[in-house]
Structure 1
Amino acid sequence: MSDTNGGADVPKVDGRRVRGKQSQMLLMAGVARRYYLEQRSRVQIAEELGLSRFQVGRLLERARETGLVRIEIGLPDDLEMDLSGQLQDRFGLRYCAVTQAPDDSLQLLRSSVGQAATSLLQEIVSDRDVVGISSTRTLMGLPDLVDGFSRCAVVQITGAVSRIDAWDVMEAVRRFTRAGGGPAYLYYAPMVCPDDSGPEIYRKQPDFVRCQQLFRELTVCAIGIGAWGNELSTVYEAASAHDRETARDLRVCAEVVGLLLDGQGRTVQTPMDERMIGISEPELRSVPTRIGIAFDARKSDAVRATLKSGLINGLVIDRALAEAVLLADP
């Protein structure tokens, strides 16, 4: 009896055709084991089993189609794969992580997002990178890294905001360098100077000059996303009542490293700009990888504005915030 398909799809092993469903399944399993588990190339498998590379490719394809080989993309249990993928596709992000922490506790949300951001940095940063850290609650107050960190330079890119319930940006920088052993570049200055006389003094300090020189060499940044409201932005809390009202009148809804944005992601100029001590917008945009970090669903408008601005190409947020961003941006 001849093969109905002429034998074109029936492989041969050592010159003999493999007939029968069971024998083909065994052959598929052998090819799949060599390819996926033993890391052999298709050429090596073909030579070893007397097959063509085309036949090896077809057997691997059939192994996936029949379920003999199942490929799973594993994420940590506390990450939402579906929401992460939706945000990544919707906004063209290089990296995106959405945590599953319950939204009934802001402290838990902050810790969960901070740990996820730290884990992402641990994965993508190498010894050759220069990492910038901004003032953001999510990276403040976390315990030291157990698994270590790359031996890279870590640079403070915004001034500090004094808070009772959180460590400042300088301690966040030290946290990474304690784990990795790389150099920490810090400067002592507020994020927002209270008057026009202070900025020039701080910008002339050798520590800030040294950090500013490194702003042009940054390859990765971790930056907080704030909404223009109480307990939603470190800059808002550091600003005077007059500055807050001025920004609100100009329809500011988001803040990123001291840059104020409207709902469309456009940079809004305010009198505070000259009093900010930190990285500039052109310097930030020149950094290849810019990871935005936020928690709390009340920041959904701010996160959307930041995504529209193009200031970030990576995102780490909590589930409720991710759902709110996607819902408002169909």
Structure 2
Amino acid sequence: MTDADHARLLVEVSRDYYLDNRSKVDIAASRGISRFQVARLLAEARESGVVRIEISPPAHLDSGRARQLAARLGAREVVIAGSGGTPAATRESVARALAGVVSAHVRDGSSVGVSWSRTIEIAVRHLAPLPACDVVQLVGALPVDGSGDSLDMIQAFRRMPGVRTWPVWSPLLVADPGTAAGMRRQPEVAAALDRADDLDLAVVAVGAWTPTGSTVFPQVTGDERRAATTGGAVAECSGRLFDADGRRVVTPLDARVVGVTLDQLVRTPEVVTAGYGRDAAPGLRAAVAGGIATTVVCDDDAASALEELLGTTAG
């Protein structure tokens, strides 16, 4: 067999095995050689460079990409989860990643503030028992079809040994400013919201200020919505609106919210925020820019959109 014939055999056997998924036994039988000869030919093809195998981890497992994105974003850390085939699957993926980040940050004696979103609610289900710590509910309840709410979620923490909880026994949004002010003065609610001034860690979610991006958006009045548009609101966190630079957007909605303020989050040393989907990217970017968030947990689609906004590419 000439060198050219041998080289051609290396290519053909490699194509049969790697591209056509034929077994070594099948290749051997069709070419009148043994399967051990096929194995030697495949090994030679790899060693000589005829076959080059490249292992590329999924984008959401590329830690170099996450580090680059964090540096460009100005965040302490970015964690990228996989994007699922449906919103529910993506939410589950981000929730699992969020649970891992929270577990890594909580220490014995920590004061941890937890807001509510569907993603955070799922993340709590995946949390292993935390060290002895205080868990502060950051927002009142906002029931959503198909989900629980912040009051249900705080009970999950209460069942963890050594964890002391500070619930907010109120809706997130109440009918009018007077009622909201009265709820904030209630001793248990006031105690929880006051503790938001002295947190070690806060866990929140950022949603695009759109009908589908925020669970709060469908609850607001026309006047509140117009005020948000006028103020340039791009995202919502715990019922508080902010613009593309992370600046607070003041609307009549603020007076109806029973929950943490953006100023309290900005003063918190570590704030982990979650968001998913391309529409979440402007809000995630703004949250970091405004000091509302220090760590971002997102899916691959949101990460790609952030890279586009920031002028970076994966890798």
TM-score (norm 2): 0.75
Counterpart pick for 2:78 among 82, 92, 96: 96
Q: CA deviation at 1:319?
A: 0.6
Rounded to whole Å, the distance in 1 between the matches of 2:175 and 2:301 is 35
Q: CA deviation at 1:156?
A: 0.5
Secondary structure at 2:198 match in 1: coil
Counterpart pick for 2:178 among 179, 184, 197: 197
Rounded to whole Å, the distance in 1 between the matches of 2:158 and 2:297 is 21
Rounded to whole Å, the distance in 2 between the matches of 1:77 and 1:232 is 24
Instruction: Map Cα deviations across residues 82-106 of structure 1 (whole Å, 9 max, x no partner).
Output: 332122111232222100233x210
2:188 aligned residue: 207
Match for 1:139: what amino acid? Answer: I
2:233 aligned residue: 252
Q: CA deviation at 1:180?
A: 4.8
Equivalent pair of 1:151/1:177 in contact (CA under 8 Å): no
Cα distance change of structure 1 residues 124 and 162 upon mapping to structure 2, 3 Å threshold: same
Counterpart pick for 1:309 among 290, 296, 310: 290
Equivalent pair of 2:124/2:153 in contact (CA under 8 Å): no
1:267 lines up with 2:273 in the alignment: no
Instruction: Map Cα deviations across residues 181-204 of structure 1 (whole Å, 9 max, x no partner).
Output: 401110221222222221122012
1:227 aligned residue: 208
Cα distance change of structure 1 residues 199 and 312 upon mapping to structure 2, 3 Å threshold: same
Counterpart pick for 2:98 among 117, 121, 145: 117
Equivalent pair of 1:145/1:179 in contact (CA under 8 Å): no
Equivalent pair of 1:83/1:319 in contact (CA under 8 Å): no
1:84 lines up with 2:46 in the alignment: no
Rounded to whole Å, the distance in 2 between the matches of 1:180 and 1:257 is 27
Gap runs ≥5 in structure 1: 1-74
Q: CA deviation at 1:108?
A: 0.8
Counterpart pick for 1:132 among 113, 119, 123: 113
Gap runs ≥5 in structure 2: 1-56
Match for 2:155: what amino acid? Answer: R
Instruction: Map Cα deviations across residues 114-141 of structure 1 (whole Å, 9 max, x no partner).
Output: 1111111111111111100112120124
Moved more, 277-286 or 128-137: 277-286
Residue identity over aligned pairs, in percent, reads: 25
Match for 2:281: what amino acid? Answer: S
Match for 1:92: what amino acid? Answer: G
Instruction: Map Cα deviations across residues 309-328 of structure 1 (whole Å, 9 max, x no partner).
Output: 12111110001101101111
Instruction: Map Cα deviations across residues 151-191 of structure 1 (whole Å, 9 max, x no partner).
Output: 21111011221111111122223333434540111022122
Match for 2:272: what amino acid? Answer: I
Counterpart pick for 1:174 among 146, 151, 155: 155
Secondary structure at 2:272 match in 1: strand
**After the TM superposition, which parts of structure 1 deviate over 3 Å for at least 4 consecutive aligned residues?**
75-80, 141-147
TM-score (norm 1): 0.72
Rounded to whole Å, the distance in 1 between the matches of 2:72 and 2:161 is 34
Secondary structure at 2:241 match in 1: strand
Aligned residues: 255
Rounded to whole Å, the distance in 1 between the matches of 2:58 and 2:149 is 28
2:301 aligned residue: 320
Q: CA deviation at 1:221?
A: 0.3
Rounded to whole Å, the distance in 2 between the matches of 1:109 and 1:145 is 15
Counterpart pick for 1:284 among 250, 260, 265: 265
